[in-house]
Structure 1
Amino acid sequence: MAENPPYARIVAEIRRRITEGELAPGDRVPSTRQIAIKWGVALATATKALTVLKQEGLVRPEPRVGTVVAVAPARDKPRPRPPAEPGDELTRDRIVRAAMEIADAEGLAAVSMRGVAAKLGVGTMSPYRHVDGKDALVMLMADAAYGELEPPDSRIKDWRARLELGSRGLWRLYRAHPWLAHFTTLTRPVMLPNLAVHADWMISAFSGHGLPATKVMNLHVLLFTYVQGVAVNLEREAQAEATSGLTDQEWMDAQEADFASYVESGEFPAFSHLMRSFGPEGYDLDLDEVFELGLAALLDGIAVLVRRR
C-alpha cells in the first residue's frame, strides 16, 4: 500500500488532536512555519495541510492570531470535503485574496505561489496563468489592501481633521493587514493606484497654507512613515510569537528577572524610578495608545508650521 503523502499525515495528526480534545475551539494550531519545522516539509505542504483542515471545517484563519480550531467535532464522524461551488473558477482576484489570507494569518514571508495554489486546491502552476510571480502578487495584494481604505470625504475641509482621518484609516488598515507595513521602504516608494488616492488626500490637506513644496512632501512622508513605523511592530510580534511559541506576555514574564536586575542595580536611576512608579502591575504597552500619542504630537508640531504662514 502506498504511503500517505506528507500533508495527509500532518492533517491526520492535527485532526486527531482536535477530535480528542487536545486542541479546543479557539486554540491556535501550528502555523505553516511551525508545521514545516516540526514535520520537515516545505511551506507549500504545510499550507496544503491547513487548507484541508479548513475545508473540513476544523480550523479557520483568525487575523493577527493565526489559524485556530473552529469547532469541536463529533468523534469518528466522517468529514467529507465540501463540493466545489459552481462558477468557482480561478481568477486573479481569488489568487490575490487567498494570498492576503495567508499573509494575514502567517505573515508575508509565508506567501508563495505554490502555497497559494495549495490553498486554492489547484495545480502548482495554475496561478501563473493570472499572476507573473510572487513579486507581482505582492504588488497586487498591497493595492487590494489599500483599496480597503475609506474613500476621502470631500466635505471635510479642516487640514487637521483630514490628516487625522487619513492617518487613523491607515493605522486601522495595518491593524487588519500587519504585513502591509513591511511592503515598502521610505527610500524606495512604490506607487499603486489605491495608495495614490490616500497620498493625494493627505497632500491636499496642506493646500492653501503657503508651505513650500519640499516641506509639504516632507510632512506627508513624515506622517506616512510614522504610521508605518509603529505598525511594523504588529507583524514583528506575530513573527516572534510564531517562532518562539511565546505570547508577548509570556516572553516578558521570562525576562522579568533580567529587568529586575537593571531596576535594582542602581546604575540607571531614571529607568529604575520610572519602573517602580508603575507599581506591582508594571507597564503594559498599548500600541494604539502609543499611535494616538505620537499622532497628536506630530499634528501639534505641524500646527505651529501652519500658523507661521
Structure 2
Amino acid sequence: MSDVSELPHRLALAWGVAERPERAPKRELSIERIVEAAVEIADTDGLAAVSMAKVAQSLGFTTMSLYRYVTSKDDLLLLMQEAVLDVEYPPAHDPADWRAELREWVQFTMELFRAHTWYLSIPVTGAPFTPNNLRAADAGLRALRSTPLDEEEKMSVILLTSGYTKSAVQLEADLARAEHSPDGVPDEAAVVAALRTLVDDVRFPNLYPLVDSGAYGGEGQIDDTAWGLERILDGLESYVGVRAAGAPGAGRDVRSEQDPGGTEPDEEADDAGHDQVSAHARDPRVKRAALQRRDAERRLREAQKSVRELERSLRDARRAERDAVRAAVEKSRD
C-alpha cells in the first residue's frame, strides 16, 4: 500500500493512524481504556467472556458508545493482542550469542502467553501487520543477526520457534483447565495402576516399559517444554553450522537452478513416496495381512481378558481360603 489511508480500519487503529472521535462530553472514554478493560475481562474470565456489552458495562458506558471508538469485536480482539505484545524484549547480547538470545526470546514469549492464555484462542487470519506483532518478530530476528542464515531462513526459524511456543503453552493451559474442570479428572495414580494391568508387552511392546516403570503419567524429572526447546535449538545449531560451512540452504532446489527445465527433486521424492503408499494400500496381500493382524489382536485381547478373569478368580479363591482358615482357627480356640 502506498498510503496509510488505504489500511483496513482495524490496522489503522493498531498503528494509531485512524481518525479518533471527539471525547465524550462528560467522562473521557478512549480506545486505550476500552482495550485495557477487555484484556482484564479476558484475563479473569477467558476470551469467551469478552463482549462489547460487558466491556461497556465494566467502564460504565453504553454499548453503543464503544462503537464510536472500536467498530467491531474483531477490531477489539486485534487491539487486545497488540496490548499484550506492548512489552520490552530482553536486550541483545554483546558479543552476539544467537542460541542464548533465541532461547530468551522464546521463553519471554512463553511467559506472555502464560499470563494471557486467551491470546492463543484468537484465530490466526494471516501474516502479522500490526506494529507490536512486527516488533515481536523483529526481536526474534535480532537474535539471529550473527548467523549465516539468509532473511527467509531467519523468518522460518521464527515461525518454527513461535509455533512451538504457542503449542507448548496451549497444552499447559489445556491440562490446567482439565485439572480444574468441575467434572473433575480421573485419579491419575489409579489410572496408571490400572494401565499396568491392561498394557502388556505384546500389544504395546514400546510403551510397556514406560508404563511398567510407573513413569507414564507420572511427574518425571524432565521439563518437557524446556527439553523440547533445547532439541529445536540443537537442530538449528547443526543447520547453522552446515550453512556456515558453505552448504546451500535447505529447501533450495539446486538442481533446478542449474537445469531450469528439470523436475524438482523434492517433488519427485514426494510423488514416489505417495505412489508407494498408494500401491501398498491397494495390494491385496497387504489387506489380507492387515485383516490377519487385526484378528490376532482380537484373539489376544480375548485371551488376556480370560487371563484377567482367571487371576481374579484365583484371588477370590485365595481370599476365601484365608477366611476359612481364620474361621477354623477361631473355632478351635472356642
User: Given the two structures, how large is their TM-score scaled by the length of structure 1?
Assistant: 0.61
Cα distance change of structure 1 residues 99 and 252 upon mapping to structure 2, 3 Å threshold: farther
Rounded Cα–Cα distance in structure 1 between residues aligned with 2:220 and 2:27: 44
Matched, 1:232 2:167: no
User: Given the two structures, how large is their TM-score scaled by the length of structure 2?
Assistant: 0.56
Cα distance change of structure 1 residues 105 and 251 upon mapping to structure 2, 3 Å threshold: farther
Residue type of the alignment partner of 2:126:
R
Contact 1:262 1:272 survives alignment (8 Å): no
- Using the TM superposition, give the Cα deviation of residue 223 of structure 1 relative to its aligned residue in structure 2, in angstroms: 0.7
Structure 1 residues not aligned, in runs of 5+: 1-86
Rounded Cα–Cα distance in structure 2 between residues aligned with 1:299 and 1:89: 49
Alignment deviations for residues 191-227 of structure 1 (CA, whole Å, 9 cap, x no partner):
2211211211211222243223332221111011110
Rounded Cα–Cα distance in structure 1 between residues aligned with 2:189 and 2:118: 26
- Using the TM superposition, give the Cα deviation of residue 140 of structure 1 relative to its aligned residue in structure 2, in angstroms: 0.6
Alignment deviations for residues 126-147 of structure 1 (CA, whole Å, 9 cap, x no partner):
2222211110001110010011
Higher normalized contact order (CA 8 Å, seq sep 6+, divided by chain length): 1
Contact 2:86 2:132 survives alignment (8 Å): yes
- Using the TM superposition, give the Cα deviation of residue 299 of structure 1 relative to its aligned residue in structure 2, in angstroms: 0.8
Deviating more after overlay: 249-258 vs 195-204: 249-258
Rounded Cα–Cα distance in structure 1 between residues aligned with 2:74 and 2:101: 33
Contact 1:107 1:239 survives alignment (8 Å): no
Contact 1:98 1:116 survives alignment (8 Å): yes
Cα distance change of structure 1 residues 190 and 109 upon mapping to structure 2, 3 Å threshold: farther
Structure 2 residues not aligned, in runs of 5+: 1-25, 245-334
Matched, 1:169 2:112: no
Residue type of the alignment partner of 2:182:
G
Matched, 1:302 2:236: yes
Alignment deviations for residues 229-284 of structure 1 (CA, whole Å, 9 cap, x no partner):
11222443466567x5145x5575786687456425852132222022126x9513
**Equivalent of 2:49 in 75, 86, 110:** 110
Q: Which has the larger radius of gyration?
A: 2
Rounded Cα–Cα distance in structure 1 between residues aligned with 2:57 and 2:200: 53
Contact 2:117 2:173 survives alignment (8 Å): yes
- Using the TM superposition, give the Cα deviation of residue 90 of structure 1 relative to its aligned residue in structure 2, in angstroms: 2.9
**Equivalent of 2:218 in 283, 289, 298:** 283
**Equivalent of 2:121 in 168, 182, 196:** 182
Task: Give identity over the alignment, percent.
Answer: 34
- Using the TM superposition, give the Cα deviation of residue 114 of structure 1 relative to its aligned residue in structure 2, in angstroms: 1.3
Alignment deviations for residues 156-198 of structure 1 (CA, whole Å, 9 cap, x no partner):
421112101110100000110011123353x723222112112
Number of equivalent positions: 217
Deviating more after overlay: 262-271 vs 198-207: 262-271
Matched, 1:263 2:199: yes
- Using the TM superposition, give the Cα deviation of residue 98 of structure 1 relative to its aligned residue in structure 2, in angstroms: 1.6
Cα distance change of structure 1 residues 250 and 92 upon mapping to structure 2, 3 Å threshold: farther
Q: What is the match of residue 324 of structure 2?
A: none
Cα distance change of structure 1 residues 125 and 284 upon mapping to structure 2, 3 Å threshold: farther
Rounded Cα–Cα distance in structure 2 between residues aligned with 1:200 and 1:254: 48
Q: Secondary structure at the match of 2:199?
A: helix
Contact 2:113 2:169 survives alignment (8 Å): yes
